[in-house]
């Protein structure tokens, strides 16, 4: 197929594009042209590049038609953040392509009642990002399910992890000092009893699920699927296991959320609240049953690889031992 990938040089695209090229597809990568791929790979040499600033072209009402003119069989949208942007693209692609795979977020669920949550669990999103993404999901699923609508499959990642960027820590932040504390045996403060949860996924497993949607359009279109690891992590267990990667036992202290939040650097307080207040733990049973989704990485394995990359890149400073993950 000829597959257009919007936002192709980002975290997920760095794994998805090489997968698609290896499968023999003709890949067109749409980017703003301001960055190189997070993950270098020889496959990029055979990828057609298109430079486009989506925000500018959305405002001008031209982005959707720009994508449609590329003559794709399928489009993968990794960077859609508003219902207006989604509608413009859907209107332009309707009748022109066989499938749109949209990448959303598990934050469409908001606060959960039962865990692990399935894709059809009642959704109560909060915060602008979650609310906008849930509105996009409703719009695109309705589009896909109506007569002569654009066929759409939706993939909802958890906390994307892997080499190349900071990842969500046991404090619900991307503060690199958390890893330094765990590696050195310094005390780490956690909220409550440390039983809130985070649910990671390796970027390559998100790419795997997107690829499965492209390979099985009849099963995937009109549906949404969680792209997460097999299991979520409690903050406490996460910290304890991460300390063991460095040959340490975690030194943890627990406090009410207000005290915990006040102890964090100001720039990390909102991130901690956003992740911990949601405490997502999602089911992948639907993706496994319908598409054969089988994540290669556990949450801990995905994070361990990420932290080792940070160490090797010098992001954690001197004296941090290698990550030893079994």
Where are the extended beta strands (E) located within the chain?
2-6, 26-31, 48-51, 74-77, 99-103, 152-157, 159-161, 187-191, 197-198, 200-202, 224-227, 233-234, 251-255
Q: Do domains 2-160+200-227 and 163-199+231-279+298-312 have the same CATH topology?
A: no
pLDDT per residue rounded down to tens, the chain (326 residues): 999 999 999 999 999 999 999 999 999 999 987 667 778 889 999 999 999 999 999 999 999 999 999 999 999 999 999 999 999 999 999 999 999 999 999 999 999 999 999 999 999 999 999 999 999 999 999 999 999 999 999 999 999 999 988 999 999 999 999 999 999 999 999 999 999 999 999 999 999 999 999 999 999 999 999 999 999 999 999 999 999 999 999 999 999 999 999 999 999 999 999 999 999 999 999 999 999 999 999 999 999 999 999 999 999 999 999 999 98
What CATH architecture is 2-160+200-227? Answer: 3-Layer(aba) Sandwich (3.40)
Query: Tell me: the pLDDT tens digits for 279-293?
Result: 999 999 999 999 999
Phi, psi of 267 (to 5 degrees): -70, -10
Question: In this predicted model, what pLDDT tens digit does every residue of 272-324 receive, in sequence order?
Answer: 999 999 999 999 999 999 999 999 999 999 999 999 999 999 999 999 999 99
Domain boundaries, the chain: 2-160+200-227, 163-199+231-279+298-312
CATH topology of domain 163-199+231-279+298-312: UDP-galactose 4-epimerase; domain 1 (3.90.25)
Q: CB-based contacts of 203: which residues, under 8 Å, 6+ apart?
A: 11, 12, 14, 15, 160, 161, 162
Is-contact 244 304, C-beta < 8 A? no
């Amino acid at each position: 197929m000829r597959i257009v990938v919007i936002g192709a040089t980002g975290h997920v695209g760095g794994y998805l594009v090489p997968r698609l090229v290896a499968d023999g597809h003709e890949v067109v990568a749409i980017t703003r042209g301001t960055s190189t791929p997070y993950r270098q790979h020889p496959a990029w040499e055979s990828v057609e590049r298109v430079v486009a600033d989506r925000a500018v072209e959305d405002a001008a009402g031209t982005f959707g038609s720009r994508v449609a003119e590329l003559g794709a069989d399928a489009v993968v949208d990794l960077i859609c953040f508003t219902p207006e942007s989604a509608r413009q693209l859907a209107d332009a692609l309707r009748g022109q392509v066989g499938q749109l795979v949209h990448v959303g977020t598990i934050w469409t669920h908001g606060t959960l009642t039962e865990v692990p949550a399935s894709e059809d669990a009642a959704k109560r999103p909060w915060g602008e990002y979650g609310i906008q993404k849930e509105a996009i999901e409703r719009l695109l699923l309705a589009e896909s399910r109506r007569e002569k609508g654009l066929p759409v499959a939706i993939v909802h990642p958890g906390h994307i992890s892997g080499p190349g960027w900071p990842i969500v820590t046991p404090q619900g932040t991307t503060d690199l000092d958390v890893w330094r504390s765990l590696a050195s045996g310094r005390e780490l403060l956690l909220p409550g009893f440390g039983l809130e949860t985070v649910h990671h996924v390796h970027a390559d497993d998100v790419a795997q699920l997107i690829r499965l949607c492209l390979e099985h359009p009849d099963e995937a279109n009109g549906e949404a699927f969680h792209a997460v690891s097999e299991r979520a992590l409690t903050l406490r267990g996460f910290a304890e296991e991460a300390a063991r990667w460095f040959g340490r036992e975690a030194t943890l202290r627990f406090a009410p959320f207000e005290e915990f939040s006040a102890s964090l650097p100001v720039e990390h307080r909102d991130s901690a609240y956003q992740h911990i207040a949601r405490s997502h733990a999602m089911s992948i049973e639907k993706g496994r049953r319908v598409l054969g989704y089988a994540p290669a990485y556990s949450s801990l394995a995905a994070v361990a690889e990420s932290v080792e990359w940070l160490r090797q890149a010098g992001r954690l400073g001197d004296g941090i031992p290698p990550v030893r993950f079994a």
